[in-house]
Structure 1
Amino acid sequence: MANFTLEDVRQRTYKARDAWWTVLLVDPLASRLVRFTANRTNITPNQLTVGALLLGLGAGASFYLHSWPWLLLGALLYHLSFTLDCMDGKIARLKGTGSIFGAWLDYIFDRVRVLACAILLMGGQYAATDNVAYIWTAVAVVFLDMLRYMDALEIYKVRGQMRKKLDTANEELAGLQLLQRRLAGEVDPAVAVDEPTADKVLGADPDADMEDQVLGDNPNAALQESFNKKFSWYARIRNVLKAGRIRPHLISGIEFQMGVFIVAPLVAAVIPGAIIPVVVLSALGMLAFEFVIIYKFWLSSKDFTRQIAKVDRKIADVRDQLPQEMLEEPLVRN
């Protein structure tokens, strides 16, 4: 058996920044369970993913029974389900056993869990009250969860395209400027010009992970220039939260889910009829932060247009100053 320590788990599996719910309410338990699971069992990440789904379905079944003891049990089971869901990725990172299929399975089962729990939670309340508002609330929860993921994936893709295009243009400009200095005798002709490659462009930004790219939260990136100028105070808040591993996107999809499937049932167990108000507040909080992401993305798109135009002008100026035969020379790699 392995002999991973708690410090190993923290160093190898904790994200640099995560949702505050995960950091404060899940990681302290999940890290200890990960150490035990990794050291004492042969449980795989995919098995944990399946276990998380089963617990989630158990939470949904409890929700459907709708009386206050079952609502409390459902909330507890959902929290344990999410804890297992966090554990599968941690085990994969700790042991190096992650896979593409495992990532897909985790994503699909997460969506199934949300769908099932939304239907069963609101369906149970509808069965108890005949209030059709619960049906519409279930539809809204599933829609918002789907919309959030679709929006994140699209922003991730477009930001990546913008960054790749800008990096490629900057490398072309750097190569041409090197040719210009070579022509002026400032650089030894033997010094090679480095051609841009797809791998190099994609790896150019150390904040290339999906979350940072979606949030647009790299303080040094050219595509965040407008936002950083408009909201200079934001960096101070981000840095304070970052010190505690908490991301500034305070109400993300995770907090939305917890608001719907943990906070709402807990409150409803004490105050009947509280589920819809709590869900509405959770949704409004998530949408507010999603609009911030969209606003930052809009500013980034304007930064991109301005930056790429500036680089293209510089490329054209340098090309005009270089002999045609020099431009036609093949570039030599280092």
Structure 2
Amino acid sequence: MSTPSKPSVAELRPVVHPQGIKDRRSGEHWAGRLYMREISLRWTRHLVNGRLSPNQLTGLMVLAGMAAGAVLLLPGVPGALAAALLIQLYLLLDCVDGEVARWRGETSVTGVYLDRIGHYLAEAALLAGFGLRAADVFGSDGGGPQWLWAFLGTVAALGAVLIKAETDLVDVARLRGGLAAAGEESATPRSSGLALARRAAAALKFHRLVGGVEASLLILAVAALDRLAGGTSPLFFTRLGVAVLAAIAVVQTALHLVSILASSRLR
């Protein structure tokens, strides 16, 4: 029995990257638009005739994301670099699972659900791992763990989950109320003042720092700064980073909720 030939990138692209997929404001990460969708095509062509199902690829995505949080327990730059690389693998698999599903015609509600759960788990694990890293649970600086930083990492993780939940629950509320899912155009606040605030926040993009890719790059940057600074407080920049992400998560959770309530998404 002959083995099915691998499709070319040119054959794959119109099927797995349908028109508009890279233009989704809330559904496509900037890294996907910038480089990962092109990389994923090269991986997808080797996987479409393989044994792994789209949902199994999603499972691998979740494992990569959660592993990124776990490796942050490794001290110094190596642990932070490993986490950043695992988040890139997580992002790659997040692209590949949907591309394989579209090529095979195996898209499903279950796949969408698992994908969303995966995003919740991976980003929460990364931020919680960052907090444990800042707490220095193994006492690498000569002292005992400082659990305040683990608490702040948990706050950041909870905020990241709540922000995603606030978005997802819009469609839950609409469907239970007999309405269709909300389109992106309904996200515009009715108040001109809130609309201006929303545009300003979007321009600054500070809220993205609690996302997996951005947070992993920040974690790597502060690990490098700690390495360069040395001194009596080897985790100063790491702890500063945890505090900043916790503050952003709390503020963004509240602002995102207000933005949804002030928009037409629930009407």
TM-score of the aligned structures, taking structure 2 as reference length? 0.70
What is the SS of the residue equivalent to 1:263?
Answer: helix
Displacement after TM superposition at 1:84 (Å): 0.9
Q: Is residue 246 of structure 2 the alignment partner of residue 275 of structure 1?
A: no
State the alpha-carbon separation in 1 of the partners of residues 177 and 50 from structure 2: 45
Per the TM alignment, residue 96 of structure 1 is displaced from its structure 2 partner at its CA by 1.9
Structure 2 residue 255 is the aligned partner of structure 1 residue 300 = no
Specify the structure having the higher radius of gyration (Cα): 1
User: Which residue in the other structure is 1:150 paired with?
Assistant: 165
Q: What whole-Å deviation, never above 9, does each CA across 1:135-176 have from its counterpart, x for those lacking one?
A: 112211221122113322333344567894xxxxxxxxxxxx
1:227-259 CA distance string (max 9 Å, x none): 4x6688899x8xxxxxxxxx9794566852333
Within 1, Cα distance between the matches of 2:35 and 2:95?
12
**CA spacing shift, 1:68–1:4, aligned 2, 3 Å:** same
Quote the residue 1:261 is aligned against: 216
Instruction: Give, in whole Å, the separation in 1 of the partners of 2:20 and 2:46.
Output: 14
Aligned length: 242
140-149 or 20-29: bigger deviation: 20-29
For structure 2, the residue ranges without an aligned partner over 5 or more in a row are 227-234
The alignment-based identity, stated in percent, is: 20
The residue type paired with residue 216 of structure 2 is F
For 2:223 and 2:194, how far apart are their aligned partners in 1? 39
Deviations 1:90-149 (A, max 9, x none): 322333212222223223333333343344333233223522232112211221122113
User: 1:254/1:10 Cα in 2 relative to 1: closer, same or farther (>3 Å)?
Assistant: farther
Structure 1: which 5+ runs fail to align? 165-201, 203-207, 218-223, 238-246, 305-334
**Residue 18 of structure 2 is aligned to residue 11 of structure 1:** yes
Alpha carbons of 1:32 and 1:251: their partners in 2 closer, same or farther (altered >3 Å)?
farther
Aligned ranges 1:1-334 → 2 under 5 Å: 1=4, 3-6=7-10, 7-8=13-14, 9-11=16-18, 14-17=21-24, 18-38=28-48, 41-125=50-134, 126-127=136-137, 128-129=140-141, 130-158=145-173, 164=179, 202=180, 208=181, 212=184, 216-217=187-188, 226-227=190-191, 250=205, 256-271=211-226, 272-282=235-245, 284=247, 293-300=256-263
TM-score by length of 1: 0.58
Cα distance 1:162–1:216, how it changes in 2: closer, same or farther (>3 A)? farther
Q: Residue 329 of structure 1 corresponds to which residue in structure 2?
A: none
